[in-house]
A and B are shown apart, each in its own frame.
Chain A
Amino acid sequence: MADYKGIKGFTVQSLATDPASGVASWAAGGAMNTGRHAMAGIGIQTAALMVGGRSGPYKAITEQYDGSSWTEVGDIPTGTQLLGGAGTTTAGLVFGGGTPTAVATTLKYNGTSWTAVNSLATARDQLSGCGVQTSAVAIGGKVSAAVSNLTEEFDGTNWSSGGTLNTARYRLASAGLSSPSVMAFGGATGTSPSGVQSAITEIYNGSAWTEVGDLNTARYYLGGSVSGTVTSALAFGGALDEASNRQLQNTELWNGTSWSNSTNLSTGNSNLSGAGTSSSALSAGSYNGPGTATEEFTGAGGVTDTIQNEGQVYYNTTTNLLKLTATVYGAVPTGTWSSGGSLNSGHGYGTGFGLQTAAVSCFGAVGPSPVSANASANTELYNGTSWTEVNEGNTARRNLGSFGSQASGLAFGGNPRLTTTESWNGTNWTSVSGLPTGVNNNTGLGTSSSSGLSIGGVDNATPGKSKKVNEWDGSSWTAITDMGTIRESGSASNAGSTTAALAFGGESPSLTANTELWNGSSWTELNNLNTARAYAGGNGISTSALCFAGSTPSAPPYQSAICEYWNGTSWTEVNDLATGIGDGIASAGGTNFGLASGGVTSPSALNTGTEEWSVTESISNVTVASS
């Protein structure tokens, strides 16, 4: 039998086990024997020391970690908190700190016990330290009531003065095993009332400090990968400010140039102590709670066969499965709405189409609120972050239908029962063949200007709410089979097609929860929405759709925040929008990634807000075929 190489000319990689997640993570580590905070952290994740600290009384305790459990080893002579540390579990160093008086004491550890050696020139506490026992650096801190910018360098015997920080700080963190090349980040500046949290990062070259990229989140009492380097370090936890007592989970990774957000600590924490490197770090101690908990950080992997890389195809020789590492999405009902960029103008009674990151909001009433009935041809484009106002349409109107993409769309009908149809090419609107009959409060579905449907509304031929449907073939409209239910201001699966579409909700004449499926030749009534409404947003296709927000005038609040998911059989209520909206929502996207912009918010304001619907996405090993 021919093998794959014989058929295709190349082999498929064989792996005994699936590639592991390359996503950084924090996991619970072993609990310390004595809960405390404000210790000196020394060493690496699998061989660390936590020295001193405080939990009520000042602690002289030293505990050693082996990667799974803590063992108490030799105490320091005096209970001390907020001290600096450097070195390893067999050649450690601590210096300074508060007893509570700031001290200059320096102690060397030989793997068993501590011995006092030459002191710092300047006594201080709330400092940071890093390096090794024979080449360490003491950074910043508080000297009595003053914030210090002092650096001292230890050569294994004596301390000497080094370059001063550009910004005096205390309660800061540092990293650098290869002293004097070290870095310091975060901390507090000023002293009133309890210091101001800092995002400042500085790198030391042995003679001078240079300010580099700031942390994304300013904070003090944070932890750091003390055994990291100036090109790869980790900052984690800390306090946003003492007034709110907000304990941060934020973790940031330094790449030598800038900080980027990484996976958060499991628990917000401050006054914690750090050890390890940027890819294998340890967080210990806590200001809140018992203070015995620790967490272990495992960094994201690089591009290797054993780390998940999207698009990697391999054969698992253990399970005999051909597999692919690919992006997979969480179940649609687990999605949530977050805030998106704000429209430049409030849009109500308008329409929209496209994708979450490439959307169009157009026509409708535009302007400050409250607003009387008005109409515009205003058009804005969304790029996933912000809206930009672009060329307007030719005919100002409101309460119309639309479909398409940001590069190819169609808008049709609208007040006062217009036949007007305009085609959007990504830059301009062009008038094209009109609807057979003037209509407003209609809706549309389709993914480009070459094909789609106009559904329901208020029809000019038979004034009143309509069940009529018209099909667009790229150049003209043709009336097709009526729906079974009259539907004004209804909604539709916006990415449906002329042969597979879903229409739901609207007024018929009272609010309806009715749902109908179009198969290209006839409409079939299916299970109802849970909440009847009109002017709702509609996303998706006939087998997977969202119905969100909309107007429910008989059941306040008038503007609904309710979102429902259609799984091809029935509607299920899922997570609400943050704000209820109705009357001309510009909906875009599908059921994994959707967009709701514009519309009218309570009590009657034109909405500038945008909300983005997203399900979770992750990298996973997917089976392609079994042998």
Chain B
Amino acid sequence: MANKYCTANNWGKDFFTHEERTNFYLSGQPGNVWVVGDNTHGDAWIVKVSGVSKTQAEAQAIVDAEVATAQAAWDAESDEHKALHSRPTDITLP
């Protein structure tokens, strides 16, 4: 399945609808990155949410930066916190 990538801020209600979820693949990622199914419905959704299109590499870089920040924050946490919470894992965009 081919995907497209964009960044968009989730404004809440109706940012994505049930109909849209039926019509195309959608997955939210760190850094307001959205992985969007590559079809006309997905294209229309990107326009609707004023999404800024990214290449897969650009989107992956945004996600990687977010994860790296979170990993650094986790590394600086107390042992008690580390015992309670797992270290954020790397994410590979589909």
Chain A residues in the interface with B (C-beta under 8 A) = 240, 244, 246, 268, 336-342, 370, 372-373, 385-386, 551, 553, 556-558, 561, 575-576, 578-580, 583, 601-605, 609-610, 614
Contact = CB atoms under 8 A, between A and B. Distances in A.
Contacts of B14: 338-339
Given A372-B77, A614-B18, A342 B91 contact: no
Contact of A558 (B15, B29, B88): B88
Contacts of A576: 27
B86 A558 contact: yes
A342 B12 contact: yes
B47 to A, nearest CB: 5
A603 B71 contact: yes
Nearest to A611: B16
Contact of A336 (B13, B18, B47, B81): B18
Contact of A602 (B13, B21, B22, B29): B29
Nearest to B23: A336
- If over half of A's interface residues share one DSSP class (helix, strand or loop), that class is named, otherwise mixed; here it is loop
Contacts of A386: 12-13
A326 to B, nearest CB: 21
Contact of B27 (A336, A342, A385, A579): A579
B12 A340 contact: yes
B83 to A, nearest CB: 10
Nearest to A385: B13
Nearest to A373: B81
B61 interface: no
25 contacts: A336-B21, A336-B22, A337-B21, A338-B14, A338-B17, A338-B21, A339-B12, A339-B17, A370-B69, A372-B77, A372-B78, A372-B81, A373-B81, A386-B12, A551-B86, A576-B27, A578-B21, A579-B28, A579-B29, A601-B30, A603-B66, A603-B89, A604-B70, A604-B73, A609-B10
Interface string B7-41: 00011111111101110001111100000000010
Contacts of A583: 85
Contacts of B12: 339-342, 386, 609-610
A558 B47 contact: no
A530 B18 CA distance: 24
Interface residues of B, number: 39
B67 interface: yes
Contacts of A340: 12-13
- Residue from B13, B14, B16 whose CB has the most chain A CB atoms within 10 Å: B13
A557 B89 contact: yes
Contacts, number: 97
Contact of B18 (A338, A556, A605): A338
A370 B73 contact: yes
Most chain B CB neighbours (cut-off 10 Å) among A338, A340, A614: A338
B57 interface: no
Contacts of A244: 43, 47
A336 B18 CA distance: 6
A583 B70 CA distance: 16
A581 to B, nearest CB: 9
A551 to B, nearest CB: 8
Nearest to A576: B27
A73 B83 CA distance: 82
Contacts of B20: 338
A568 to B, nearest CB: 25
Given A338-B17, A373-B84, A614-B18, A602 B10 contact: no
A518 to B, nearest CB: 28
4 smallest CB-CB distances across A and B, nearest first, come from: A603-B88, A603-B70, A579-B28, A342-B12
Nearest to B14: A339
Contacts of B15: 339
Contacts of A604: 70, 73-74, 85, 88
Given A339-B13, A370-B70, 17 more contacts: A336-B18, A338-B14, A339-B12, A340-B13, A370-B73, A372-B77, A558-B89, A576-B27, A578-B16, A579-B27, A579-B28, A602-B88, A603-B70, A604-B85, A609-B28, A610-B12, A614-B18
A340 B17 CA distance: 9
A578 B89 CA distance: 19
B85 to A, nearest CB: 7
A96 B18 CA distance: 43
B90 interface: yes
Contacts of A609: 10, 12, 28
A341 B26 CA distance: 18
Nearest to A249: B44
Nearest to A582: B86
A558 to B, nearest CB: 5
